[in-house]
Amino acid sequence: MPNAEDHRTPASTSSSTFINRRQFLAAGTTVAAVSALPACSNPDAQTSERPAGVPVGPFDAKSTAMEVTEGLDLSGTTAFITGCNSGLGYETMRVLTARGATVIGAARSEQKAADACASVDGEAIPVVCELGELDSVAACGTAVRALGMPLDMVILNAGIMALPELEQINGFEKQFFVNHIGHFTLGSYLRDQVLAAPQGRFVVVSSSGHQFAPDSGIEFDNLSGERDYSPWGMYGTSKLANGLYTMQLSRQLEGSNATANVIHPGVINTNLGRHFPWWQRVASKLIGWTFMKSTEAGAATQTYVATAPALADYSGYYFADCNPIMPDPRMLDAAQAEKLWEVSEEIAGEYYYGA
Ligand SMILES: NC(=O)c1ccc[n+]([C@@H]2O[C@H](COP(=O)([O-])OP(=O)(O)OC[C@H]3O[C@@H](n4cnc5c(N)ncnc54)[C@H](OP(=O)(O)O)[C@@H]3O)[C@@H](O)[C@H]2O)c1
């Protein structure tokens, strides 16, 4: 595995190429949210550089998950995915099972997991995981461990976005807790099985929205959201946390055959916008087609990074439109990633596997 750190220098990333985060946050209106989506959908607007040495494949923003796996026989492999009942998670599960993988599909209720798993062709095993409840996360992790299967792919995909008002779980802001702490805790249960696979892969679904996090990155004194709350700022914090977690996990996996990479799927009209006001959801449906990806294309990047043989040796990278790009420099802050790991372990407490 190459020393990914060599390729991660943010120096080549011009901050002028990022969309104007301050303007976005200052607008503070749902109109601004819609108007920003096209910029998010073009990850190349974030960077003028690709990380050196990482293979650039033949796929792009229009490629679908079926296309990026064409010709692959995934029989005998096992994938685990959160959020298997909706949007990108469902499409990823559908395609992986169609290619022969066994998928362990996690959803918030038995019914949702069972219905989703029953509706795909191929083998899918339903499990329950409510990421906002750590006893549910621990029960899910324990159940997956009990299956005893090496995990070739762990796709941490579920998420929530832009809650209009501050909501908390255990005193922490809800997007940070569900999107990051839930997955962080779950990942601790699954790591042994990823390491047991011939070449196990963690794929964490972040967002180009990680750039909406505060300038200083994770504000450890505001994880409750009480000092300062904005729907997009906290979504950005949670998605930056997804990225920092992945980079730290990748460093921890060095020397093994396992990898960890993080992705931005594009902008897709899934159920993720459920917290938008009704008129904005209607607007998304009416004009979204002009710049949004289909769900089939939205699921492509995570499916590609989870399966592409060419990526077996590459870890600690950020992908969008099925190719590596430079993330916001804050995602590459190793000191902050280490601190986030420590703080997250404290928050997970007894639920962190092996604690
Ligand atoms: N769509 C986009 O434009 C876009 C852009 C950038 C990044 N992403 C990321 O892509 C990922 C997938 O989103 P999507 O677009 O497919 O949205 P989606 O259709 O809303 O799917 C989200 C999934 O997460 C699950 N989920 C939500 N809260 C949960 C919780 N507390 N515990 C467990 N599962 C929970 C949902 O379950 P329920 O159905 O039961 O609520 C659903 O299965 C997210 O991480 C999102 O941040 C999406």
Dump pLDDT digits (tens) for 122-158.
999 999 999 999 999 999 999 999 999 999 999 999 9
pLDDT the model gives residue 48: 54
Instruction: Give the distance from CA 8 to its chain's centroid.
Output: 19
C-beta 267 within 6 A of ligand 1: yes
Region of 97 (left: φ > 0; alpha: ψ -120 to 50; beta: rest) is alpha
CB of 236 shorter than 6 A to ligand 1: no
**Complete domains list, the chain, with CATH:** 24-40+58-351 (3.40.50.720)
Give me 313's structure tokens. 């040796």
Residue 290: band (very low, low, confident or very high) from pLDDT cuts 50, 70, 90: confident
Instruction: State which ligand 1 atom lies nearest to the alpha carbon of 109.
Output: 40
Summarised one tens digit per residue, pLDDT across range 52-106 is: 999 999 999 999 999 999 999 999 999 999 999 999 999 999 999 999 999 999 9
The atom of ligand 1 lying closest to the CA of 161 is 47
pLDDT of residue 22: 38
The answer on pLDDT for 4 being more than 70 is no
The reported pLDDT for the residue numbered 32 is 43
pLDDT tens digit string along 330-341? 999 999 999 999
Q: Which numbered atom of ligand 1 lies nearest the CA of 242?
A: 45
Cα atoms found within 13 Å of the Cα of residue 137, Cβ hemisphere only: 27
| Whether the Cβ atoms of residue 299 and residue 95 lie closer than 8 Å to each other | yes
How far, in Å, CA of 202 to CA of 325, rounded? 18
Task: Name the residue of 109, 210, 270, 328 to mutate for ligand 1: max ligand atoms within 8 A of Cβ.
Answer: 270
255 C-alpha vs ligand 1 centroid, how far in Å? 32
For residue 268, the CA-to-ligand 1 centroid distance in Å is: 11
- Give the 3-state secondary structure of residue 78: strand
Q: Which residues contact 263 (CB under 8 A, 6 or more apart)?
A: 203, 204, 205, 206, 301, 302, 305, 318, 319, 320
User: Residue 25: CB partners within 8 Å, gap ≥ 6?
Assistant: 212, 230, 232, 233
Check pLDDT > 60 for residue 51: yes
Tell me the C-alpha to C-alpha distance, in Å, between residue 227 and each of 166, 200, 220, 339.
11, 40, 11, 20
CB atoms within 10 A of CB 123: 14
> Which residue out of 90, 189, 229, 314 is catalytically annotated?
229
Q: What is the pLDDT of residue 180?
A: 99
- Is 189 part of the annotated catalytic residue set? no
- Answer whether 187's CB lies under 8 Å from 246's CB: no
Are 50 and 324 in contact by the 8 Å Cβ rule? The answer is yes
Distance, CA 296 to ligand 1 centroid (Å)? 15
156 versus 24: which is more confidently predicted? 156
* Mean pLDDT of the 201-224 span: 98
Task: Tell which residue, 76, 72, 246, has the closest CA to residue 152.
Answer: 76
**pLDDT-derived band of residue 49, with 50, 70 and 90 as boundaries?**
confident
43 pLDDT higher than 70: no
Alpha helix positions (H), 213-275: 231-253
